Structure 1
């Protein structure tokens, strides 16, 4: 299966990334999980290695590589037992930076994208609000034009990198029209007066800084508008395909990690005179879990292949996230059970992994919303279109 999508160069990249994570990241994970703060030096090291520029143009310091390098990046980040650290990295590289690359003009790319690729600036994407999560069009944050500036007011919540980022990619309504056609996208410097952030206390993803952000009469230059005014909603929608596929890949990767760990444990743990991987009930349960993981992994690779060719795979990416995140929760829950009492101990990885995985069916669009999107596309024949 792998040789269909991954070349020798891909596998060399995977080995290089594994070595880097083992040496530079893993020794710090427990501290970052405890403090909830990822130290700044690691961002620069990621940038120096080119990991933030995998899919971005060489003109801005990127490597302009195919999406299967991104898959490798995501998979290996899921196998160091800190989904919070992984989220901080991919939210910067594939949420905030995607908008800079696609909608930012040349000046914005030079000011924000170039240092984002090098690891000198950290970004976050601000869409969800306290009263508007999955219903993006219901957002209340406004950006009212005043001469050659916009005045930003409102709040955002559940923002990954929301405390320590250097800039914010913000969605806001630029007219009073009660419609998705009123939404625009801006890039805003963190040190602009009127911005405040409150760190949220989460069940999992403890290493990442998730925040609620308030904008109180924040004045930003009109040049910070990205793309066309009023086109923010289709910009957001077209990037959701990548975000959902990312979360699907994350899910199959952490499920695979849980299965690998459980398999090793079961081959060493003895009960009634034999290792527990010899008991039929456990063997068959493991076989079911492994099969579900492989089905999702295979599907996710196929969707990545189509997205890499430029196809608009919003339906398939939505299915990827819906099914893969549910699968990961079920796999990790059962893998913890395989470990018995040890699975419940913080000294073993499954307790943290279980907490971290639970965000999968919630973040980036809840499973309930994803089912409705799929139903609209299949039953109502709704045809979502990319921004033009």
Structure 2
């Protein structure tokens, strides 16, 4: 397959790509099937990623990070991590990228000093708690309530589908502190051992088996007001700012899922014979692969363009929503066709395309559904 455009990646990016590739080859690939079947992976992997500097990409230089301007550093590392073939593992390992930025953007210096270093080192795990049982993508109407009581907030409510929720040490949680709608939302940091906070079962999922996914419950949960991120009722803006990078990461996950499925097919059709000749010699298969390759290439290149505009400081709300939708649709098509090309073997758990097919399904749901993305795009078009 053609290498990514050199216009986007410099020598530093290539170095990060190579070190991430070695990390995946040495520390993940030999164990990934075992971890998938077990539904988890060792906590030590966070520390290994932290020691390598992978967890620090995109986070403040003050705490040993790379800063949040070099977007393609994140792209390079994310692409290589996805080559492990377990999107669930990548999602859990990267949960800090959606949970930690509100802390270093909006938290007090004391809160930052207490939390950021340990998470970037991989010694602690952080999760983001937004989705609720009855709300889904409707962030503006979340119901988990936080009421100010002296120097504390008292929280009641629940969250669900929380990536890294089972074993996180800290949670960035969206709560309602004000009026209905987006103007009444705040973000609070809640530590695992906070009284009144409990973690439910590890949710069993269609895909992303290696990712722990939890329900969270708050019953008169008392949290210090100093854990508030930014001014009260300003959380919606921070959540929306967070979503741009999350949607970029999901776009990367989508086109890399499709890329891996395509590569599996290209190898398979050269060796698998039907009706006396390799699959690659059947026109219907060749044309399927041509369409699949086109979808992957376009999804990747458009995502790169959005990343370049983000790196230039532009707001790309419409464009990154388009990128996520296009990349996830491409991944839908490519993983579906990959299983079809593999036939019965594509339905077997021993086949990577089977896992890619399952893992892919969440990508057009997480970080805002395909339908929500279309609503955002329509609003940006002035409709």
Over residues 120-159 of structure 1, what are the superposed CA-to-partner deviations in whole Å (9 max), with x where a residue is unaligned? 1100000010111111111110111111111111000110
User: Counterpart in 1 of 2:241?
Assistant: 238
Query: SS of the counterpart of 1:206?
Result: coil
**1:139 aligns to 2:142 (yes or no):** yes
Q: CA deviation at 1:265?
A: 1.0
Query: SS of the counterpart of 1:152?
Result: strand
Distance 2:12 2:307 in 1: 18
Q: CA deviation at 1:38?
A: 2.1
Q: CA deviation at 1:8?
A: 2.6
User: Counterpart in 1 of 2:87?
Assistant: 83
Q: CA deviation at 1:37?
A: 2.2
Over residues 51-93 of structure 1, what are the superposed CA-to-partner deviations in whole Å (9 max), with x where a residue is unaligned? 010112221121337111111122122221111101102222x
- 1:168, 1:187 within 8 Å by CA — same for their partners in 2? yes
- 2:20, 2:81 within 8 Å by CA — same for their partners in 1? no
Q: Can you give the 5+ residue segments of structure 2 that lack an aligned partner in the other structure?
A: none
Q: CA deviation at 1:10?
A: 1.4
Distance 1:296 1:353 in 2: 17
Q: CA deviation at 1:281?
A: 0.8
Deviating more after overlay: 69-78 vs 204-213: 69-78
User: Counterpart in 2 of 1:166?
Assistant: 169
Match of 1:126 among 123, 126, 129: 129
User: Counterpart in 2 of 1:364?
Assistant: 367
Alignment of 1:291-310 (within 5 A): 291-310=294-313
- 1:126, 1:170 within 8 Å by CA — same for their partners in 2? yes
- 2:246, 2:367 within 8 Å by CA — same for their partners in 1? yes
Aligned residue-pair number: 378
Deviating more after overlay: 59-68 vs 212-221: 59-68
Distance 1:324 1:275 in 2: 30
Query: SS of the counterpart of 2:366?
Result: coil
Alignment of 1:1-388 (within 5 A): 2-64=5-67, 66-92=70-96, 94-175=97-178, 177-198=179-200, 199-380=202-383
Distance 1:353 1:252 in 2: 11
- 2:17, 2:77 within 8 Å by CA — same for their partners in 1? yes
Q: CA deviation at 1:11?
A: 1.6
Distance 1:71 1:27 in 2: 24
Distance 1:326 1:210 in 2: 24
- 1:74, 1:90 within 8 Å by CA — same for their partners in 2? no
Query: SS of the counterpart of 2:314?
Result: coil
How much is the aligned-residue C-alpha RMSD, in angstroms?
1.2
User: Counterpart in 2 of 1:384?
Assistant: none
Deviating more after overlay: 30-39 vs 259-268: 30-39
- 2:108, 2:226 within 8 Å by CA — same for their partners in 1? no
- 2:24, 2:83 within 8 Å by CA — same for their partners in 1? no
4+ residue segments displaced more than 6 Å: none
Distance 1:334 1:179 in 2: 42
Distance 1:232 1:326 in 2: 30
